[in-house]
Chain A
Amino acid sequence: MKTMSFTQAVDDAISQAMADDLRIVVFGEDIPLLRRDLLVRFGPKRVRGTPISESAFLGAGVAAAMAGLRPIVEIYMVDFLGVCMDALLNHASKVEAFSGGKWTAPVVVRAPCGGGYGDGGQHEQSLWGWLAHIPGLTVVVPSIPADAGSLMLAALQHDGPVIFLEHKLLSETWLEFLGSGGRRNIEYDVPAQGTRGPVPRMWEPLPIGKAVLRREGTDVTVVSVGVGVHRAMEAAEILEKEKTSVAVLDLRTIAPLDKTTLCEMVAQTGRLLVVDEDYEGFGLSGELAAVLLEADIPFKYARVCTQTTIPYARSMEDHILPNVERIRRAIIELLQPTRNTRG
């Protein structure tokens, strides 16, 4: 079977889509270098660089999508969306509603996200909860190469704005570009299962909004996305030796949320642990609890998230981001009989 790295899979799915659909164009800062393989196949009219002017080129991407193109707009890091949030918050997300459902902006915003390599609090955020908060935005966060390619294809076929987040710790391309390229002796805690894996010969779109059970288990259901899924899998394997059976559900899409699968999986174990690299307050972890409460499912609940600004120092960062040990301890605590059952 063919295998690919995470970023290779995304780029490969894009190149398949670009060969089929002439409306797809790619632009963003440094794109001639970062997407050079697409540039030499599809030419500078469809793959182009931009000035450091996010408000202008993201806003232009949204309107170009309204006018018939299928742009992939790359933002260097999801953190930098702060500079140009208006294009998403007040425009892309609202075109469909404002036009009475008659007009949409099928733009794909591709951005690296996530931490674990020592770049500090302005370059390592996740922010998917912040984005998913806005009605009208679709937010996908794949955790393995096969899903990454298939979800990118689905995003390109979707009839509205999609934010496609690519975790840097899963992307050897990004890690090489940002940190490990010019030296040999730096190590990052990279989850092997997520960085390289089997991919199909031809990409097929993966339905947006479908979670997948990565691991079956009867005691606790851990729900996560991106790198968190791999950290949860590792904790589950450790706990298996201690006769604890942990299920791991990979949401893959934050918005729209796969509420059906979530409710089913948590109902089976009666315990939910959310592992979310994004900020704890007012985000995905609270949302999942709300969905289960609304569905009247009795469950015990805990979460392992990022609570503060992400520290620059790796030694501190490793404790702030959800790690295997924090997940393991949270699961053990969740299994103690003393806690109240919610619902």
Chain B
Amino acid sequence: MLKSRLFEETVTQLWKDGLISGEMHLGTGEEAIIAGVLAHLGADDAMALDHRGTAALLMRGVNPILILRELLGKPNGLCGGMGGHMHLFSKPHLAASSGIVGAEGPTAAGFALAAQYLNPGAVTVAFFGEGAMNQGMLMESINLAATWRLPLVFVCKDDRWSITTQSDSVTGGDLNDRAQWLGVPGVCVDGRDVTEVWEAAQKAIMRARAGEGPFFLRAKCVHFEGHFLGYQLLRAVRNPLREMPKISIPLTQSFLRTSGASWRERVGGLKSVLSAVLSTLRDPRKDPDSDPLRRTRSALQSDRTRLEALEDEVKHEVDNIIAMTMEEESL
């Protein structure tokens, strides 16, 4: 978890320095979910990842130097510079990513189906956000997994935001109920707590391995950087003096323009825009208790010396990875 966090903090800096060109979706904040699930995977197991798969690949043991080179768009990166962070693939790890929301469902179903024939006992894990639960192909995959009794664990990383939209405003009913009604049992755990995730994942994966069918593991978390780096709502909250005029001036002009809806409707519109900003302000991502690393650290306080030694070791390792990759960069 710490390795992943430090790695992605470096990625943040590289992005800010302009060394990564396009979007960048980080997994900072969801490390406990990835770690808690991946702890149970064996060599033959597969993963279907979303557009923020860096943490999962790191924890699965993919060479971090290859990942970092890929994010920097190097021809000697994990995918030859063709994929980038949203499309990371590692055939030896049976791990495939997609930038299409919900695509993890069919991919995981296919991996799990292949395992039934080729690798009995192997399982597949699908990682996706709660926003993807409104995507038809994911719903269809849950049903397919139930009817085919696929060895598949659906892991829903629920941060309550579908990009800039609050998920509950566009989601009917309860997500666990949904999976249940499609024939897939599940639980909802605190995804910031690695022990809780680990325990739930153990049951789910053992069940799937035993041929008892798919499971829906929903884990709640926060994303410290929002949907992606440079996330507009966080910018507005973190740097209001610079960012708010860009939003508020055209907004006010448009609000006041003649012809359009009634004032009542206009105020309704304004409230909806403000609600996104205010919810971002109140977001639990600022609460230290939302940080899975911090929580794990305090749980391990009893053996402080060993914890510090471990952390130093990881820091040293990540520093080395970065130094080696950046040295190539400057050659």
Contacts and interface: CB of A to CB of B under 8 A. Distances in A.
Interface of A: 15, 18-19, 29-30, 32-34, 36-47, 49-56, 79-80, 82-83, 117-123, 177-183, 185-188, 309, 311-316
Given A40-B270, A51-B162, A52-B101, 17 more contacts: A15-B257, A29-B162, A29-B163, A29-B165, A33-B164, A41-B269, A43-B260, A118-B20, A119-B21, A119-B84, A120-B99, A179-B230, A182-B229, A183-B18, A312-B73, A312-B83, A314-B21
10 contacts: A39-B272, A41-B260, A44-B272, A45-B265, A52-B134, A55-B136, A117-B22, A120-B87, A123-B86, A312-B84
A182 B251 contact: no
B42 interface: no
B268 A182 contact: no
A182 B81 contact: no
A183 B266 contact: no
Contacts of A183: 15-18, 230
A121 B135 CA distance: 21
Contacts of A34: 164
Interface string B166-193: 0001110000000000000000000000
B326 interface: no
Contacts, number: 188
Interface string B217-244: 0000000000011111101000000000
Contacts of B231: 182
B58 interface: no
A123 B23 contact: yes
Q: Most chain-B Cβ atoms within 10 A of its Cβ — which of A50, A51, A119?
A: A51
A45 B261 CA distance: 9
A187 B253 CA distance: 30
A111 to B, nearest CB: 14
Contacts of B81: 311-313, 315-316
Contact of A39 (B18, B82, B162, B273): B273
Nearest to A122: B99
A44 B73 contact: no
B29 to A, nearest CB: 17
Interface of B: 15-18, 20-23, 70, 73-75, 79, 81-84, 86-87, 98-102, 131-132, 134-137, 162-165, 169-171, 228-233, 235, 247, 250-251, 253-255, 257, 259-262, 265-266, 268-270, 272-273, 276
B73 A19 contact: no
A36 B247 contact: yes
A33 B268 CA distance: 14
- Ranked nearest first, the 7 interchain pairs of A and B with the lowest CB-CB distance are A182-B230, A118-B21, A43-B265, A312-B84, A313-B73, A51-B134, A43-B261
A40 B100 contact: no
A30 B167 CA distance: 11
A53 B260 CA distance: 29
Nearest to B79: A312
Contact of A32 (B79, B262, B273): B273
A53 B82 CA distance: 28
A312 B82 contact: yes
Contact of A33 (B22, B75, B132, B233): B233
A74 B70 CA distance: 31
A38 B257 CA distance: 11
Nearest to B235: A182
B173 to A, nearest CB: 12
Contacts of B266: 40-41, 43
A93 B22 CA distance: 34
B98 to A, nearest CB: 7
A74 B135 CA distance: 16
Contacts of B79: 312
A42 B230 CA distance: 28
A39 B165 CA distance: 14
A18 B259 CA distance: 9
A32 B163 contact: no
Select the residue from B171, B233, B260 with max chain A CB neighbours within 10 A: B260
B171 A33 contact: no
Contacts of B131: 51-52
Contact of B254 (A38, A82, A121, A315): A38
Contacts of A180: 230
Contacts of A18: 260
Given A46-B261, A120-B87, A32 B165 contact: yes
A19 B269 contact: no
A292 B99 CA distance: 39
A120 B84 contact: yes
A288 to B, nearest CB: 29
Contacts of A56: 136
Contacts of B17: 183, 185
